[in-house]
């Protein structure tokens, strides 16, 4: 897609400057680091699902704090109120989880070490920094483009994702050996590592040599994941450009509520996927949290831009974007 937009001259020579490559390298490394820390710590024996659903919300305050430090931000009282309301809504939606933890019906034992929840929370930092650096690039590029009176004042979303994903993949490929680190990785030796790695590819392509399991569904579900993953990243890049990383973190808080609703509405799919039973408590508190979070989102947008620039609101001025060209 980036090649297509390059052919359509939506990717200008100024976008390919080394100045912007440095930002995309950082985003790619942060993206890979976030993936490694989350993947290795999210196993149920390290951070139980009940606990991970709580800890993942650390991304919201991390994004707001580091945005204030790294970017020229100015927070209106409505922005602060928005964050508070969103966090209240998130906590409200987690009441069934807290209840299960209190009753002992949800696993909370840290079987592989007390430190894994802390590693999980640390993984939230690169997740926040990734979006902040992404916004920083977009703000600087737009400001420079307007100062130079260039026709294209928005950094190409597709070009950004193509370059950032390349550096992310490179960082992941270079760090694959972390899976062999005792106490951190999941493979005891190189043979087990290779077996897991190769069998994953075989399962994806439904290799007949692998009997049993659900490899027959791996290709379709894997393709769906890839498409959803790309769509999420493209949308996120668009939002950090036209709104902010803070807004993206707030918007992301809705996804757990939507997923809970999906698993509740389709119990047969839930059972097949092995997610776990969803009862009326889950759906009730999720639906109850939704208006609280929506009000919080309304407050945030009502507070105007959170970007502090020489010309107020200059950076957030509306322009056509390549997704609709």
Average pLDDT over residues 41-59: 81
Higher pLDDT, 109 or 232: 232
Is residue 146 pLDDT above 50, yes or no?
Answer: yes
Place of tokens 């597709």: 158
Can you give the pLDDT at residue 224? 92
| pLDDT tens per residue, range 26-42 | 999 999 999 989 988 88
Q: What is the 3-state secondary structure (H, E, C) of the chain?
A: CHHHHHHCCCCCHHHHCHHHHHHHHHHHHHHHHHHHHHHHHCCCCCCCHHHHHHHHHHHHHHHHHHHHHHCCECCCHHHHHHHHHHHHHHHHHCHHHHHHHHHCCCCCCCCCCCCHHHHHHHHHHHHHHHHHHHHHHHHHHHHHHHHCCCCCCCCCHHHHHHHHHHHHHHHHHHCHHHHHCCCCCCCCCHHHHHHHHHHHHHHHCCCCCCCCCCHHHHHHHHHHHHHHHHHHHHHHHHHHHHCCHHHHHHHHCCHHHHHHHHHHHCHHHHHHHCCCCCCHHHHHHHHHHHHHHHHHHHHHHHCCCCECCCCCCCCCCCCCCHHHC
Is residue 200 pLDDT above 80, yes or no?
Answer: yes
Is residue 310 pLDDT above 60, yes or no?
Answer: no
- pLDDT class of 14 with cuts at 50, 70, 90: confident
Can you give the pLDDT at residue 199? 87
| pLDDT tens per residue, range 278-300 | 778 888 888 899 999 999 998 88
| pLDDT tens per residue, range 96-143 | 888 877 777 766 666 777 788 899 899 999 999 999 999 999 999 999
Give yes or no for a contact between 114 and 325, defined as CB atoms under 8 angstroms apart: no
- pLDDT class of 5 with cuts at 50, 70, 90: low
Can you give the pLDDT at residue 6? 62
Residue 281 exposure: Cα atoms within 13 Å on the Cβ side: 8
| pLDDT tens per residue, range 84-100 | 999 999 999 888 888 87
Average pLDDT over residues 243-255: 90
| Tokens (6 digits) for 159 | 């070009």
Can you give the pLDDT at residue 324? 46
Average pLDDT over residues 40-55: 80
Per-chain mean pLDDT for the chain? 84
* Least confident window among 211-215, 252-256, 270-274: 211-215
Can you give the pLDDT at residue 318? 40
Can you give the pLDDT at residue 325? 44
Average pLDDT over residues 237-242: 92
Can you give the pLDDT at residue 305? 85
The fraction of the chain above a pLDDT of 90, given in percent, is 34
Q: Among 19, 249, 314, 243, which residue's Cα sits nearest to residue 137? A: 19
Average pLDDT over residues 171-179: 87
Higher pLDDT, 195 or 6: 195
Can you give the pLDDT at residue 283? 85
Can you give the pLDDT at residue 135? 95
Residues near 160 by beta carbon (within 8 Å), at least 6 away in sequence = 24, 134, 137, 237
Can you give the pLDDT at residue 316? 42
* Least confident window among 200-214, 218-232, 237-251: 200-214
């Amino acid at each position: 897609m980036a090649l297509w937009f390059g052919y359509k001259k939506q990717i200008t020579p100024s976008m390919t400057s080394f100045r912007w490559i440095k930002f995309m390298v950082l985003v790619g490394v942060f993206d890979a680091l976030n993936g490694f820390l989350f993947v290795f710590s999210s196993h149920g024996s390290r951070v139980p699902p009940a606990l991970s659903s709580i800890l993942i919300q650390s991304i919201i305050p991390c994004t707001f704090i580091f945005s204030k430090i790294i970017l020229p931000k100015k927070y209106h009282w409505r922005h602060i109120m928005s964050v508070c309301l969103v966090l209240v809504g998130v906590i409200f939606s987690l009441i069934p989880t807290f209840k299960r933890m209190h009753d002992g019906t949800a696993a909370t034992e840290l079987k592989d070490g007390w430190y894994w929840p802390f590693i999980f929370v640390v993984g939230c930092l690169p997740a926040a920094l990734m979006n902040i650096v992404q916004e920083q690039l977009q703000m600087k590029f737009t400001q420079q483009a307007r100062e130079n009176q260039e026709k294209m004042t928005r950094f190409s979303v597709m070009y950004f994702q193509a370059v950032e994903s390349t550096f992310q993949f490179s960082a992941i490929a270079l760090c694959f050996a972390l899976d062999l680190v005792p106490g951190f990785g999941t493979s005891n030796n190189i043979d087990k590592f290779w077996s897991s790695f190769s069998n994953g590819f075989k399962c994806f392509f439904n290799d007949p040599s692998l009997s049993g399991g659900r490899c027959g569904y791996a290709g379709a579900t894997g393709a769906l994941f890839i498409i959803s993953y790309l769509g999420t990243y493209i949308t996120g890049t668009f939002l950090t450009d036209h709104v902010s990383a803070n807004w993206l973190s707030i918007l992301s808080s809705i996804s757990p509520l939507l997923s809970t609703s999906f698993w509740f509405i389709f119990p047969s799919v839930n059972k097949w996927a092995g997610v776990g039973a969803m009862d009326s408590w889950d759906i009730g508190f999720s639906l109850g949290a939704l208006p609280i979070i929506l009000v919080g989102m309304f407050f945030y947008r009502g507070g105007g831009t959170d970007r502090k620039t020489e010309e107020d609101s200059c950076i957030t001025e509306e322009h056509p974007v390549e997704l609709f060209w």
